[in-house]
Every structure is written in C-alpha cells, then in structure tokens.
Amino acid sequence: MNNIYPKHLLMTQFPIHDNCLQVGGMPLTQLAQRVGATPFYAYDRQLITERVTLLRTCLPPEIRLHYSMKANPMPAVVQHMSGLVDGIDVASVGEMQVALNTPMPPNLISFAGPGKGRNELSCAIAAGIILNMESEQEMECVANLGQYLGICPKVAVRVNPNFELRSSSVKMGGGSRQFGVDSERVPAMLTRIDELGLDFEGFHIFSGSQSLKAEAIQESHEKTLQLGMRLAQDAPSPARLINIGGGFGVPYFPGDQALDLMSIGENLYRLLKNIKQQLPETKIALELGRYFVAEAGIYVCRVLERKISRGKVFLLTDGGLHHHLAASGNFGQVIRKNYPVVLGNRVEGTERETVSIVGRLCTPLDLLIDEMEMTKAQIGDLIVVFQSGAYGLTSSPTAFLNHPIPPEILI
Ligand SMILES: *Cc1c(COP(=O)(O)O)cnc(C)c1O
C-alpha cells in the first residue's frame, strides 16, 4: 500500500491484495461473481469469531455474553453466534423462532420489548424462554397465560434505571421511557412475582447504545450493578442473572476511536469481586449486538452511471437507502456523516476525484456518500460500504420503490 489513501477509510479487518479487497479469503470481484448480482451484504464469519474471542480475552471469564440478534438477524449469522455466545436476546416472536432453530437452549434465550401481545407471550412461555417483563400489566398477563398453559413462566424484570448511559448516541434508559419498569416500582413488582408464583430469573438493565467512551460504560456498569444488587434484596429468590446491557459502540466516522475494551474489562474484574461476595449465585451478562457484528460486514453495490451535474460528480449505483438506511444518514443520526467507503475492485488509483454516491430512489435522501474523495470510478466498479454488519438490511425500508431485496451471505 502506498499512503495516498486516507487511512481512516481503510478497514484493516479486510486485507487488500493486488489492489482488490479480500473478503472471507477471496477477492471481492470473485465474491461478487459467486453471489451473481449486486447489491449484496457479506458478513465474514471469521471476523465475528475473532470479535467474540477478543471480548473473552479482555473481560472476566465469568461474564456471560449474549447476542442481541436484532443487530443482525440473518439466520446463518444467528446460527454461527449460537456456537460462540452464552445466550441470545430476541425482541419479537419472529426473532425467537430464528433463535429456537439454533442449538441454543430455550432457557438461554430471552425476550425483551415493550407491548408484547398475548399471543407472543404465550408462544414464548410455551417455548420455555425467559420473558423480560416490561410492565406490571405484562406480568399479570404472563401469570394468567402460564396458568392457562400449565407452564410456569420464566421471568426477569426489565428495569428502567434512574440514570442513563452518558455519551451513548441512543439512550434507552433513565428518565421517562417506554422501556422497562421504573426502578422505584420494581420492589412492589417483585412481591407480586412471588404471589403469582412465577419462576424468577433476575434483572435486565439496559441503558443505551453505540457508546465509544470506556469511562461512560464503566460508570454505567458500576451504577447498573449497584442497582441490581439493591433490587436483588427484594427478590423472591436469588437472582440467577443480572443482564447489565451493552452499549459498546464501533467507530464509523473519521476521528472515532475504537472502544478501550481492556479498561472496561479491568473495571468489571473489580466490580465482580463485590458481586461475588454479595450475590454468590448470580451470573452477570452483557448483551451486545452491534459490537459483535458491525465491523464484520460490508455492503456492496455497483456503479451504473457517472453523472456530472454542473461540475459535481455523482456515481449512480444499484444500491441505496432502501438497503442501507444507516449509511444514508437517515437511521436516527443527528448530523449526516459519510460511512467509510472504498472502490473494492480498485482500492488505489493515481487518478482521484471527489464524488457523491447515490442510489436510484426518487428522493435526495438516497445518498450513500456526500462529496468524498476516492479513486476515480468507472462504470461497473464495486462500491464497498464498511461497518455494515449491524443495523443494515433489516433496519432499512426495503419495500420503498419495490426494488428486489439484496441477498446476504455469511462467508
Ligand atoms: C438493541 C438492543 C441491544 C443491542 O444494542 P447494540 O447497540 O446493538 O449492542 C441490547 N439490548 C436491548 C434491550 C436492545 O433493545
């Protein structure tokens, strides 16, 4: 490699040979031939495995790792994850069915999400998975259904903590939330769980997502475990599990620094000592989605046309926001920034130009890259969007304009 290419755009997890990106040990051009069409998503199973290994190396061995599968629910990915993690967290019955198709035992699958319907709850009770209950109404419904089905439901309480994960871009706990039960109401709920004879598993305390600040995550872990220990005093039986959430972010944009896992691990070693004394029977779980899979995935689309409009170069591609809403900047981002992108089949080129990369949808929001300098593209070249393994295809409005849904592969 010479150093013409801006370093922050090169994702070193995917090597380059003969100026072509290598994915799963294969040149991208060959992979595109194998898939047979563009656009597509590709996820590298080796990179996912390495990510889990990295976590296991940096974190205390007692920490359980759960995969929050809404980040990437492709069945092959979930199957792969099931062999690597200690539990799967689902957020719908559709996800539950995918998780149940893997070898993961039902008692290691948990179901969170507000507003679960009676039918969903009875599917989950019959499956024997753990219900992370998000309200008192849900608790009564679960007890009722359990009696009707003749099965004792396994339940945990999803707690809305009285603090939030500082610096996370998606806040999901603290203050008034549609998620979970306000922590001050949990003791009364625990009494009622006892009266109803539900099988008490523990607590689920999740405060936010996509944080790159180790200190903020450490602070959240400390407060979360304190809250868990305090609530456990009122529990009908010893909590078997406290799920302390996740929120580990990945770098997307220039200037983003990868998370300092070592310091998060050291902090957890320290906190666990205390937990082991106070709650010897309680296991601690982290639930992560994005951090496991985001960096292992790419989205690939093809240049269909070069269009120059009053001096500005647009690369028209067969991709777009209907496949990758997050890269277009429309998935909750406050300020639009470019995802890291390269020409996968010709990474380096002496001829370079500033381009905007767009799709075929009839909206100016259909913008994958806004004015970025890259190797001069030709028709047929492959555009690769990195950091696309999480919240990609299934977080995008694929029905908009009714183009075909792109294939996903796990290589
Ligand atoms: C979405 C979600 C996660 C996963 O968040 P990531 O940022 O992808 O790690 C974890 N727990 C709950 C309850 C969620 O809703």
Ligand 1 pocket test, pick from 85, 132, 168, 287 with the greatest ligand atom count within 8 Å of Cβ, gives: 287
Residues 344, 220, single domain; the answer is no
CA distance 104 to 304: 43
Q: Is residue 216 part of a domain?
A: yes
Residues 95, 226, single domain; the answer is yes
| Backbone φ, ψ for residue 373 (5° rounding) | -85, 130
Residue type, 41: Y
What is the pLDDT at residue 254? Answer: 87
CATH code of the domain containing 333 = 2.40.37.10
SS3 for 324-392 is: CHHHHCCCCCCCCCCCCEEECCCCCCCCEEEEEEECCCCCCCCEEEEEEEEECCCCCCEEEECCCCCCC
Q: Distances from the Cα of 321 to the Cαs of 33, 197, 363, 400, in angstroms?
A: 23, 48, 10, 9
CA of 247 to the centre of ligand 1 (A): 7
**How would DSSP label each residue in 116-149?**
--HHHHHHHHHHTPEEEE-SHHHHHHHHHHHHHH
- For the entire predicted model, the pTM comes to 0.95
Q: Is residue 190 part of a domain?
A: yes
Residues 267, 308, single domain; the answer is no
Residues 166, 195, single domain; the answer is yes
Ligand 1 pocket test, pick from 48, 70, 203 with the greatest ligand atom count within 8 Å of Cβ, gives: 70
Residues 179, 236, single domain; the answer is yes
Residues 278, 308, single domain; the answer is no
Report the nearest atom of ligand 1 relative to the CA of 248. Answer: 9
Give the count of domains, the chain.
2
| Backbone φ, ψ for residue 45 (5° rounding) | -65, -35
- Please work out whether the CB of residue 132 comes within 6 Å of at least one atom of ligand 1: no
- Please work out whether the CB of residue 391 comes within 6 Å of at least one atom of ligand 1: no
Residues 223, 322, single domain; the answer is no
- Please work out whether the CB of residue 96 comes within 6 Å of at least one atom of ligand 1: no
Q: How big is the chain by its Cα radius of gyration, in Å? A: 23
Residues 231, 112, single domain; the answer is yes
256: how many CB neighbours lie within 10 A of its CB?
Answer: 15
- Please work out whether the CB of residue 288 comes within 6 Å of at least one atom of ligand 1: yes
Residue in the block written with tokens 């996968």: 344
Report the nearest atom of ligand 1 relative to the CA of 91. Answer: 15
Token digits of residue 27:
């040149």
- The separation between CA 272 and the C-alpha centre of its own chain, rounded to angstroms, equals 25
Residue nearest atom 3 of ligand 1, based on CA coordinates: 68
Q: Is residue 60 part of a domain?
A: no
- Please work out whether the CB of residue 70 comes within 6 Å of at least one atom of ligand 1: yes
Token digits of residue 341:
């992108």
Q: Is residue 185 part of a domain?
A: yes
CA distance 160 to 182: 5
User: Which structural domain, as residue segments, surrounds residue 175?
Assistant: 73-288
Per-residue pLDDT of the chain (411 residues; tens, 9 = 90+): 334 445 555 678 999 999 999 999 999 999 999 999 999 999 999 999 999 999 999 999 999 999 999 999 999 999 999 999 999 999 999 999 999 999 999 999 999 999 999 999 999 999 999 999 999 999 999 999 999 999 999 999 999 998 876 766 666 677 888 999 999 999 999 999 999 999 999 999 987 889 999 999 999 999 999 999 999 999 999 999 999 998 999 999 988 999 999 999 999 999 999 999 999 999 999 999 999 999 999 999 999 999 999 999 999 999 999 999 999 999 988 899 999 999 999 999 999 999 999 999 999 999 999 999 999 999 999 999 999 999 999 999 999 999 999 999 999
Token digits of residue 289:
């989605």
Residues 333, 186, single domain; the answer is no
Helix H or strand E segment including 292: helix 290-293
